[in-house]
Amino acid sequence: MSSVMETLLSRQSVKFVQSPGPSDAQLDLILQAAMRAPDHGAVHPWRFALAQGADVPALVDVAVRIAQAEGKPLPEHKVANARKWLARVPLVILLACRPDPNGRIRVEESRLSVAAAVMNMLNAAHALGLHGFWSTGMGTYLDGMGEALGFDPLDEHFMGYLAIGTPIDAPHPAQRPDHRAFVRAWRMDQAAV
Ligand SMILES: Cc1cc2nc3c(=O)[nH]c(=O)nc-3n(C[C@H](O)[C@H](O)[C@H](O)COP(=O)(O)O)c2cc1C
């Protein structure tokens, strides 16, 4: 099996990571991998912001404040979990989508392209010996969260967080489902038309 296939088949998310995060050169590679996501209509919908060092745990404070301001305070246990998660994370990539301003390409397709970019970043991080974790917790779906993080409230949709670093505890190999349970053949003579 090629080393590329081995990398793809061994990727797994790791939530609790610490330094070292990616070096500047590694981060460039990870972000270049994001630019290889399929992108219908060449919309280039990917918008990212990088939080590093002390700005990472500060993300929780932003979520707490926005949730409070919107009258939907985050439950204490969720805040505690978020603080525990981000305490040692060296890098969080804030993920957003700017859909086609001309409306030719469906918004959903631009969001799918951002998701594909995130997948590429997870795989790139793994190929570089790092681990990542994609989260839509911590206020992702609050109305004002994207703007609070510096995304344009008019046309940039905040989509969550991608943490990258080095596992604090050695990860156990993940159990994966048998792909055959999710796949079937399709033949024209069975079409329901
Ligand atoms: C869009 C998206 C959002 C996610 N948000 C969360 C989250 O908020 N909290 C969480 O525990 N896992 C979340 N996950 C799942 C983890 O990122 C991860 O995929 C999961 O723990 C399984 O690990 P694996 O990637 O090794 O299969 C999310 C996954 C996706 C695709």
Instruction: Convert the pLDDT of each residue in 163-175 to its tens digit.
Output: 999 999 999 999 9
pLDDT digit string (tens) for 58-82? 999 999 999 999 999 999 999 999 9
145 with 46: CB under 8 angstroms? no
Q: Is the CB of 10 under 6 A from ligand 1?
A: no
Q: Taking residues 12-30, report their average pLDDT.
A: 98
Q: Find the helix or strand (DSSP H, E) in which 135 lies.
A: strand 131-135
91 with 56: CB under 8 angstroms? yes
Give the residues across from 59 on adjacent strands. none
Percent of the chain residues past pLDDT 90, beyond the cut:
97
Query: CA 166 to CA 95: how far, in whole Å?
Result: 20
The pLDDT assigned to 169 comes to 97
Q: Taking residues 119-145, report their average pLDDT.
A: 98
For the CA of 11, the closest atom of ligand 1 is 26
The pLDDT assigned to 1 comes to 86
DSSP state of 24: H
Q: Is the CB of 140 under 6 A from ligand 1?
A: no
Q: Is the CB of 137 under 6 A from ligand 1?
A: yes
For the CA of 115, the closest atom of ligand 1 is 1
Q: Is the CB of 13 under 6 A from ligand 1?
A: yes
171 prior amide bond cis, ω within 30: no
The closest residue, in CA terms, to atom 13 on ligand 1 is 135
For the CA of 176, the closest atom of ligand 1 is 27
Give every CB contact of residue 82 below 8 A, 6+ residues apart in sequence: 60, 63, 74, 137, 138
pTM of the model: 0.97
What's phi and psi for 132, nearest 5 deg? -135, 170
90 with 17: CB under 8 angstroms? yes
Instruction: Assign domain 3-190 one CATH number from 3.40.109.10, 3.40.50.720, 3.40.50.1370, 3.40.47.10.
Output: 3.40.109.10
Exposure of 125 in the CB half-sphere (CA atoms within 13 A): 31
Asked whether residue 2 carries a pLDDT value surpassing 90, the answer given is: no
Query: CA 59 to CA 54: how far, in whole Å?
Result: 9
Query: CA 114 to CA 158: how far, in whole Å?
Result: 11
Rounded to the nearest integer, the mean pLDDT of the chain is 97
Q: Find the helix or strand (DSSP H, E) in which 160 lies.
A: strand 157-167
Query: CA 175 to CA 191: how far, in whole Å?
Result: 34
